[in-house]
A and B are shown apart, each in its own frame.
Chain A
């Protein structure tokens, strides 16, 4: 597409075509990976050399005409306009390759006609020296400076100056931020044996930070792996000193945490690892998944027991309140009774009898000597009728 564009342009503006053509040639050269730098060389007699190379390649195109370079370096042919043949030679799949490059992109010479190369080289070296000599150490970091691999000093926050890279090197690491590792990794169950030979599933976090970067860097082959393994060993040992129930209780857990921490610290100090264990956090203590139902049933049983006790307390309240109510009523009546014993007694008697007898069938046997015949079947029949009747009435009533 772009080539077609160039082509069309070249027909219209022949003058500018030459520059474009050369430019395109240059791009093609760069893309084809032809040896020699695309920036070329301003020094014809020197290391350049790709001029000749390009020329011997074949058709001797005029090569890119450097817009800044007047007249070419003598090797180039006389200036001429690009004709259609040149254009076609340089097009197509292997056109530019066949055509070769030519002089390349040439920088103007420095005053005095010398090459830019030394300048560029010096600048690159200078930049390298600068970059590897100044070190910005962040607020939470420290840096260990080594001279040919040998420890020379530790640098604190701020910008520090060292010798450049091959001589001195700086290793920087965060020494204030507390790092944490979770054991075991998410979603795995690691059972630990307790002192009473039960199993518990513990999940915990180790929090540590680097106390001495020099030791951390040079003393241990695998610092993080070491911290993890030490934690596992310390946790196993500490849990083995506790019973299963202790590991579930808050106090037992706190004790385990503290023991693990001090154990870890003493082991890591023995290694001279330069690590401070800030703390251990037991996040979860669970019974193994296989027996978790039995453990849950224990807490259910506790609830059940509490429920039973609550019900008993309710009954207790009823009994006591009933007793107090009854006796309070009795006490009141007794007080009255004491005021006028005979009258009160009679009153109570008649009132009660009224209530009782008004509600029942009564047969008064007035005359003495009458043999009373008690028709029990008759009474029962009447009772049955009585009990049937009210329901009839209610039906009729509705």
Chain B
């Protein structure tokens, strides 16, 4: 060991210096990052810049070079980033309030501009967030409450995205889309009113169902009576005179006849005159 050092002192030092130089010259850029090369405070070029038509593997990622010491590299995310909007109250054109929760997805397409205007992606987010808030509030405020709920149907979301994109371009970012994540009624009176409406709506439905049930029951009973009447008429109509006799017999039976168990018919006394048909034979042949 010692001998090696003694014999090749200069070459070892040379190799060491070469290695240090190499490592300070090489930069490794991953697929997910873009690098802004800054020479004495001035951005001079971008490595692995985002291009929409490039597939992974054809990008500028991998080993890149820089001049040591005078060039430094600032990394900017190349992926699609997320911008969450603070929950915002939006007033619809028909003066109703809605809590809106939206998000935007964006990508840094001009890292130099972004580094100049916003510094870091975090800085960019804090710049874009108020813009997103005001654009969403402005655009949605043109619609009625009902249309706001189905904002995807119309041009509202495309308008928001377009406006947002225009603003973001100034920071070197491209807004891919803006979406409404949640729409809620504000706590307090509007929410309570909605609950009351839902509740009364259900109460109405329950009352309707019960009334319909009663109506149907009545119809069923009436139909039954009608059918029964028809059955009676068909049968008894054959000989009305006999029916009169037959029914009278039944009626006497049930009025004066022996009481069935649990039945109370009351007392009846019958005074039969001599002209009664029943007593015809009683009188004997005269």
Contacts and interface: CB of A to CB of B under 8 A. Distances in A.
B160 to A, nearest CB: 13
Interface string B151-164: 11100000000000
A160 interface: no
B221 A291 contact: no
B249 to A, nearest CB: 4
A197 interface: yes
Contacts of A301: 205-207, 209-210, 213
Interface string A340-368: 00000100111011011101111111111
B274 A315 contact: no
Interface string B55-66: 011010111000
Contacts of A330: 235-236, 243, 246
Given A149-B31, A233-B103, A324-B231, A267 B179 contact: yes
A349 B272 contact: no
B183 A236 contact: yes
Interface in A28-70: 45-47
B210 A309 contact: no
B145 interface: yes
A298 B179 CA distance: 36
A395 interface: no
A150 B269 contact: no
Nearest to A306: B213
Contact of A327 (B30, B232, B273): B232
Given A237-B180, A298-B205, A348-B249, A365 B271 contact: yes
B245 A363 contact: no
Contacts of A236: 180-183
A147 interface: yes
Interface residues of A, number: 103
Given A150-B57, A218-B32, A306-B213, A191 B184 contact: yes
Nearest to A228: B181
Given A236-B181, A334-B242, A295 B273 contact: no
A229 B83 CA distance: 11
A226 interface: yes
A229 B181 contact: yes
A222 B271 contact: no
Contact of A323 (B56, B205, B228): B228
A348 to B, nearest CB: 5
A379 B270 CA distance: 11
B47 to A, nearest CB: 11
A245 to B, nearest CB: 9
Interface in B196-222: 197-203, 205-207, 209-210, 212-214, 216-218, 220-221
A363 B235 CA distance: 38
Nearest to B272: A364
A270 interface: yes
A287 B198 contact: yes
Contacts of A320: 224, 227-228, 231
A329 to B, nearest CB: 9
Nearest to B238: A334
A198 interface: yes
Which 3 residue pairs spanning A and B have beta carbons closest together?
A305-B213, A150-B62, A312-B217
Given A199-B195, A355-B258, 6 more contacts: A192-B182, A225-B82, A294-B202, A319-B228, A349-B277, A365-B271
6 contacts: A195-B150, A298-B202, A348-B245, A357-B256, A359-B258, A360-B270
